[in-house]
């Protein structure tokens, strides 16, 4: 009985899911007899089994639902209200089934509410409908009724027969048939009025019958399958994985022994193993449609809730993939469809206004592509609001404005995958809470999948997910980088290119390696460099292989020293202690018994992107290479400003370079302004000697901090140079930091803080060099302030290391023993500066004793009190640069005297 | 830890410890936590990993994370181990935590000792904090001391310092 009940639960669960989906289809296509028959059959089966198992509650509910569906068959139009009611009933059935599964008994409770509603629905509208449809014989209604009548009867009898002949104790006879027979009895009476028109269409009826036969055969085919416990399959899969491993090991040995007589049997073993692997894999394959089953219902409910007309198109539901993969993507898919319905599609009114069809479409498509499955979720809605995403990304401190402006739309769109990122103006019950897309991405990436977005304003958004067919075994390219071998999943590999010092060579732009590949430049990263092992970068890049990989829309090359072969590897998860390293997806044991790390193309892609944009000087957790570059050199923008003198500003501070029409400059209250990107931007001359031209074009250097932007008026933009920022003559002017020699020319380095409206004008005058160069750790969550203060500190003769958060700061402090002073912003999101100092004071003696300078917006009494409690050496107002330099000098002096 | 001490004293029970040494210091590990004693070979280093982690190795078909007790205790690597993997024959202790196997790389493995509460001492407070956090207690042996290590604390290091390495 127990087994029987379990069987019943699984089966009913599946049936109810199918009914869910079918009902929604039926609602849209009420004339489709096949769908209705299918629904009817499933509910009938559930009802019959319930009666047999002695589950009165379920049976009564199923019976009531069946009765109403019987009425549909008789020609009652399927209204949205009635379908909703049946869907509600199905939900109740599922709830009861869930209880049944948990406790083993049917829960007590009453379903009279639903049953009576169902009965009323079955009685009431039918009569109205009859009355309405009788006098004017509608041309549309009758044919379906005629079609429905005949096959309906036939199919029910067939069904009944099938149901009775199915193995099962006799009790079912007693319970099921009378209930089922009610429907056919009712049928003729209701349909009689239109029977006159029956002759009109005899053909469709015949066609229906044929379909019916087909339906029966599929039902018969179902008996050919058996249910196998998932654990059994899992175990089988593990064993096969091990077998594959062993075979690989044997093959490896055979490769070393030339004259072995076991080569032939080994070859056979290899074949059999491959076939076995394929066979076992097949048992775990399920059509992706299983994961989509709930979606029509979800979309229907959303459509009602949001008041949008939504059509869900599903293509390729039969595409098969590993059930483990299926489980993982089920929820992300549902989430994304919800997102598309809520955010992606506009309201009906907006759509009509935009000249689009009122009904929005969400298209789900799945297809095989090599060893992977591609799933697309596309909507024809308004597309992502990239401007809002840009704004939000800066607000949340995910990226510096300067970096952001250099990002492509595709890169910007990816911000939606950050945790807690939502641009929805209002949080609806459906989505907009900013949880989700990051989880979706994580889920997909945990199974080695990739996700990508393509969005066109006004045309819609398409998410493309690429996932491997299976998780357990993947094809991987075995490469060597430095002294060690690594496995690169084949999924991400497009091609291999051999590079040497000759024709195909790696070139460098500003130290960043690139490769010309068929008229396109491909950014290159060296695997050894990425993994922090590279000792001699330049020579190593002379010869080797570039593995051209693609992640999402980004294409890049991974430079390796040697490529061996492809091997089917069994993916083993990384140890919990190592899982945080983004570079690795797992590890495996190769044929020769060695453990090899599997490189995660997603992790590499992220590093590539960071390396490309990272010249701005965010050292925090970036690769060592970037850190070195920023340590020694600064990229400066050189321009002419005032009396032909050369001036420069660190490029990392610059947002954009613009040429504007002078005619567009407006004057308000004596200030020059320009309408820029939808807002007013003040224009400030870089030097007193510059006047804004009256006609022609004017060169601008645009600086911005979050929402604020400022245009610096210059005479001419000259060049971008990368030099060691070594300020030789400290200027006695607040608008200059000092002068330096750049490209052999004396150049003034301007102090942006002087120009920014938020700046104070008391600039550090007459900088005093500290007696000894010490390293300062600058902690500030705002990239802007980091970029602004770093040059100031460097100019004052300090080595500067930056960190974007308290956590990053602690990590840096632990790793870098050179740091002697910490300058931290006290107000930071998450762990504040006070928390950081408190953590420091608890840490090992070296860190506990570090002098700390706190930067704060307002120096209040309580802040002073807290600072004293934490032994913070000095508190400095956030914009008081001279104060900061003075405080640092004081600390330097104290250390020196202590040392002496 | 206090409670455990008290219990042992009451019952007067003895515990078995596997002794290992790192440099001149003798350490003890509760025998029920030790699954294996083997010579680690073919260690694959993991770039970007926390310093404590030596690498991964294949232990009879299982991938095991190898951790250096020296580095865990903040001690410098032995001379011979300066270049990482090509170490002179060292020993490793197979430990398990949360279903995962770890190999604790030590300089050598000694005998198994049966020790009672009579020789047990609390951890001296003047020990290096790294030692203090990992040690449960100290046993007075003939002529030397045995520091009993807390296996869970040993394996319980977080990945916080990882980025730094």
B42, B43, B48, best to mutate vs chain A, most A CBs in 10 Å: B48
Residue in A113, A81, A89 with CA at minimum distance from that of residue A39: A89
Q: Using the beta-carbon criterion (under 8 Å), do B47 and A531 form an inter-chain contact?
A: yes
Report the side by side order of strands in the sheet with A484-489.
A562-570, A473-481, A484-489, A595-599, A584-589
CATH numeric code, A230-283: 1.10.287
CATH 1.10.287 maps onto chain A at 230-283
Q: Which residue of B has its CA nearest to A577?
A: B159
Question: Is the Cβ of B44 closer than 8 Å to some Cβ of chain A?
Answer: yes
**pLDDT tier at B79, thresholds 50, 70, 90:** low
Q: Does the structure show a pLDDT above 70 at A278?
A: yes
Given an 8 Å threshold on Cβ–Cβ distance, is B44 in contact with A810?
no
In chain A, % of residues over pLDDT 90:
1
Put the strands of the sheet holding A460-468 in their side by side order: A310-315, A360-369, A372-379, A460-468, A450-456
Which has more confidence, A91 or A419?
A91
Rounded to an integer, what distance in angstroms lies between the CA atom of residue A427 and that of residue A454? 24
CA Rg, chain A, in Å?
36
Q: What percent of chain A has pLDDT over 70?
A: 75
* A540 part of contact set with chain B, CB < 8 Å: no
Contact A693, A662 (CB under 8 A): yes
CB distance A673 to A680 below 8 Å: yes
pLDDT category, B56, cuts 50, 70, 90? very high
Please indicate if any CB of chain A lies within 8 Å of the CB of B165.
Answer: yes
Residue of A nearest to B60 (CA): A593
Q: In this complex, which of A532, A576, A595 lies closest to B57 when CB atoms are compared?
A: A595
The answer to whether domain A289-468 has CATH 3.30.450.20 is: no
Q: Say whether A584 and B157 touch across the interface (CB within 8 A).
A: no
Q: Tell me whether residues A595 and B44 touch, CB distance under 8 A.
A: yes
Determine contact: A817 vs chain B, CB below 8 A: no
Sheet of B100-106: strands edge to edge?
A: B34-38, B91-97, B100-106, B62-68, B53-59
Residue carrying the six token digits 């399958």: A225
Over residues A679-692, the pLDDT tens digits come to 777 788 777 777 77
Please tell me if residue A858 touches chain B, with a CB cutoff of 8 Å. no
* CA distance linking residue A349 with residue B109, whole number of Å: 78
Q: Nearest CB to B44: which of A531, A596, A807?
A: A596
3-state helix, strand, coil in chain A (%, to 5): 45, 25, 30
| Residue written as token pair 């075979």 | A247
Q: Which residue has the tokens 């931007």?
A: A681
Q: Do B48 and A531 touch (CB under 8 A)?
A: yes
Dihedral over Cα of A240, A241, A244, A246: its sign: negative
Q: How many CB pairs under 8 A join A and B?
A: 82
Euclidean distance between CA atoms A42 and A374, whole angstroms: 32
Transcribe B81-110 into DSSP letters.
GTTTT--SS-EEEEEEETTEEEEEEESEEE
Q: What is the pLDDT of residues A253-272, one digit of tens each?
A: 887 777 667 788 888 888 88
Per CATH, which fold does A775-899 belong to? Rossmann fold (3.40.50)
CATH classification (class only), A2-222: mainly alpha
Q: Specify whether the CB–CB gap between A651 and A702 falls below 8 A.
A: no
pLDDT of A616 > 70? The answer is no
Q: Is B56 in the A-facing interface, judged by CB distances under 8 Å?
A: yes
| C-beta atoms of A531 and B165 within 8 A | no
- Tell me, what DSSP letter sits at residue A827? -
Picking from B84, B154, B163, B165 by the largest number of A CB atoms within 10 A of its own CB, the best residue to mutate is B163
Highest mean pLDDT among A322-326, A393-397, B12-16, B101-105: B101-105
Cα–chain-centroid distance for residue A152? 47
CATH homologous superfamily of A473-616 equals CheA-289, Domain 4 (2.40.50.180)
Binning pLDDT at 50, 70 and 90, where does residue A741 land? confident
Instruction: Give dist(CA A579, CA A581) in Å, integer.
Output: 5
What residues does CATH 2.40.50.180 cover in chain A? 473-616, 628-755
Residue B113, min C-alpha distance to chain A (Å): 31
| CB-nearest partner of A594 from B42, B160, B161 | B42
Which domains does chain B show, CATH number per domain? 2-154 (2.40.50.180)
| Interchain CB distance below 8 Å, B44 and A245 | no
Where is pLDDT greater, at A371 or A216? Answer: A371
Structure-model confidence comparison of residues A768 and A510, the more confident one: A510
Q: Is A831 on the interface with B (CB under 8 A)?
A: no
Q: Per the CB < 8 Å rule, is A245 touching B160?
A: no
Using CA coordinates, name the residue in chain A closest to B51.
A815
Predicted local distance difference test score (pLDDT) of residue A772: 54
Q: Are the C-beta atoms of residues A579 and A518 closer than 8 Å to each other? A: no
Burial A400-423 (b: 16+ CB within 10 A, else e): bbbbbeebebebbbbbbbbeebbb
Question: Between chains, do A595 and B162 touch, taking CB under 8 Å as contact?
Answer: no
Q: With a cut of 60, say whether residue A522 has pLDDT above it.
A: yes
* pLDDT on residue A220: 45
Closest chain A residue to B128 measured between Cα atoms? A844
pTM value is 0.43
Q: What CATH fold (topology level) applies to the domain A628-755?
A: OB fold (Dihydrolipoamide Acetyltransferase, E2P) (2.40.50)
- Separation CA A895–CA A816 (nearest Å): 19
A239 touches chain B (CB under 8 A): no
Q: What is the pLDDT of residue A199?
A: 41
Q: What angle do CA A734, A736, A739 make, to 5 degrees?
A: 140
> Are B63 and A595 a contacting pair at CB < 8 A?
yes
Q: Is A238 on the interface with B (CB under 8 A)?
A: no
What is the overall mean pLDDT for chain A? Answer: 73
Between B155, B157, B162, which is nearest A580 by CB? B162
């Amino acid at each position: 009985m127990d087994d029987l009940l379990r069987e019943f639960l699984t089966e009913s669960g599946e049936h109810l899911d199918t009914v869910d989906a079918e009902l929604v289809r039926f609602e849209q296509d009420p004339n489709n007899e096949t769908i209705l028959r299918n629904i009817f059959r499933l509910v009938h089966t559930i009802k019959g089994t319930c009666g047999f198992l002695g589950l009165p509650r379920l049976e009564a509910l199923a019976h009531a639902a069946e009765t109403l569906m019987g009425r549909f068959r008789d020609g009652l139009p399927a209204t949205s209200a009635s379908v909703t009611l049946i869907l509600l009933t199905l939900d109740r059935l599922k709830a009861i089934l869930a209880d049944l599964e948990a406790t083993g008994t049917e829960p007590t409770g009453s379903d009279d509410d639903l049953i009576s509603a169902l009965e009323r629905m079955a009685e009431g509208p039918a009569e109205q409908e009859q009355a309405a449809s009788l006098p004017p014989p509608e041309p549309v209604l009758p044919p379906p009724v005629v079609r429905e009548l005949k096959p309906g009867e036939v199919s029910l009898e067939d069904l009944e027969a099938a149901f009775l002949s199915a193995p099962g104790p006799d009790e079912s006879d007693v319970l099921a048939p009378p209930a089922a027979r009610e429907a056919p009895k009712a049928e003729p009476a209701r349909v009689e009025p239109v029977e006159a028109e029956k002759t009109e269409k005899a053909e469709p009826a015949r066609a229906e019958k044929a379909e019916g036969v087909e339906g029966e055969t599929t039902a018969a085919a179902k008996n050919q399958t058996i249910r196998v416990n998932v654990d059994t399959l899992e175990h089988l899969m593990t064993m096969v994985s091990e077998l594959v491993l062993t075979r690989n090991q044997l093959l490896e040995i055979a490769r070393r022994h030339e004259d072995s007589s076991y080569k032939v049997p080994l070859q056979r073993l290899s074949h059999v193993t491959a076939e076995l692997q394929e066979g076992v894999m097949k048992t775990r394959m399920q059509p992706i449609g299983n994961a989509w089953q709930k979606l029509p219902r979800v979309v229907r409910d959303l459509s009602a809730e949001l008041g949008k007309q939504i059509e869900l198109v599903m293509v390729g539901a039969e595409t098969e993939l590993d059930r483990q993969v299926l489980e993982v993507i089920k929820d992300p898919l549902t989430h994304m469809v919800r997102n598309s319905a809520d955010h992606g599609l506009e309201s009906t009114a907006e759509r009509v206004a935009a000249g689009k069809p009122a009904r929005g479409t969400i298209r789900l498509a799945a297809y095989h592509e090599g060893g992977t499955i591609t799933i697309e979720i596309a909507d024809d809605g308004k597309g992502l609001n990239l401007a809002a995403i840009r704004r939000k990304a800066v607000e949340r401190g995910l990226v510096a404005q300067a970096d952001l402006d250099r990002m492509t739309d595709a890169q910007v769109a990816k911000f939606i995958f950050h945790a807690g990122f939502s641009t929805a103006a209002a949080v609806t019950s459906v989505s907009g809470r900013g949880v989700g897309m990051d989880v979706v991405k994580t889920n997909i990436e945990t199974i080695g999948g990739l996700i990508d977005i393509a969005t066109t304003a006004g045309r819609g958004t398409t998410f493309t997910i690429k996932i491997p067919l299976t998780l357990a075994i993947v094809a991987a390219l075995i490469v060597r980088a430095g002294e060690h071998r690594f496995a690169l999943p084949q999924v991400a590999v497009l091609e291999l290119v051999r590079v040497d010092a000759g024709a195909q060579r790696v070139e460098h732009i500003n130290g960043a390696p690139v490769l010309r590949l068929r008229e396109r430049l491909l950014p290159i990263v060296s695997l050894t460099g990425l993994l922090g092992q590279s000792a001699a970068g330049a020579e190593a890049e002379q010869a080797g292989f570039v593995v051209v990989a693609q992640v999402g829309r980004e294409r890049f090359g991974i430079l390796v020293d040697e490529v061996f072969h492809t091997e089917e590897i069994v993916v083993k998860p990384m140890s919990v202690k190592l899982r945080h390293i983004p570079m690795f997806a797992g590890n495996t044991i190769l044929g020769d018994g060695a453990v090899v790390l599997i490189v995660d193309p997603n992790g590499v892609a992220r590093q590539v992107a960071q390396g490309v944009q990272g010249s701005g000087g965010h050292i925090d957790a970036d690769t060592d290479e970037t850190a070195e570059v920023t340590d020694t050199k600064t990229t400066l923008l050189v321009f002419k400003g005032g009396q032909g003198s050369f001036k420069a500003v660190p490029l990392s501070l610059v947002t954009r370079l613009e040429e504007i029409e002078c005619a567009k400059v407006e004057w308000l209250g004596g200030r020059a302004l320009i309408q820029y990107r939808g807002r007013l931007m003040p224009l400030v001359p870089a030097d007193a000697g510059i006047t804004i031209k009256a006609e022609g074009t004017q060169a601008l250097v645009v600086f911005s901090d979050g929402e604020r932007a400022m245009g610096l008026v210059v005479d001419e933009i000259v060049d971008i140079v990368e030099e060691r920022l070594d300020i030789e003559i400290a200027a006695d002017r607040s608008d200059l930091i000092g002068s330096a020699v750049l490209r052999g020319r004396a150049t003034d380095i301007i102090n942006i803080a002087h120009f920014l409206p938020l700046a104070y004008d008391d600039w550090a005058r007459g900088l005093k060099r500290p007696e000894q160069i010490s390293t300062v750790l600058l902690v500030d969550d705002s990239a802007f302030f980091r970029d602004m203060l770093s040059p100031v500190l460097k100019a004052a003769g300090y080595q500067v290391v930056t960190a974007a958060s308290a956590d990053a700061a602690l990590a840096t402090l632990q790793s870098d023993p050179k740091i002697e002073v910490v300058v931290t912003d006290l107000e930071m999101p998450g762990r504040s500066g006070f928390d950081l100092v408190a953590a420091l004071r608890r840490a090992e003696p070296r860190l506990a004793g570090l002098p700390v300078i706190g930067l704060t917006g307002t120096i209040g009494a309580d802040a002073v009190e807290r600072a004293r409690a934490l032994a913070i050496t000095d508190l400095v107002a956030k914009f008081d640069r001279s104060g900061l330099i003075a405080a640092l000098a004081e600390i330097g002096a104290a250390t020196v005297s202590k040392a002496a | 830890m206090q409670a455990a001490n008290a219990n042992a004293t009451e019952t007067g029970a003895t515990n078995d410890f596997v002794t290992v040494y790192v440099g001149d210091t003798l350490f003890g590990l509760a025998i029920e936590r030790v699954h294996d004693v083997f010579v680690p070979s073919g260690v694959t280093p993991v770039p970007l990993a926390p310093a404590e982690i030596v690498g991964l190795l294949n232990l009879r078909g299982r991938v095991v994370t190898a951790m250096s007790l020296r580095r865990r205790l903040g001690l410098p690597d032995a001379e011979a181990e300066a270049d990482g993997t090509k170490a002179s024959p060292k020993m490793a202790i197979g430990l398990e935590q949360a279903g995962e196997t770890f190999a604790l790389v030590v300089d050598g493995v000694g005998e198994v000792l049966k020790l009672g509460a009579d020789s047990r001492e609390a951890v001296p407070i003047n020990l290096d904090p790294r030692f203090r956090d990992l040690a449960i207690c100290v046993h007075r042996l003939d002529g030397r001391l045995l520091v009993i290590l807390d296996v869970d604390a040993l394996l319980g290091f977080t990945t916080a310092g990882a980025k730094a390495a």
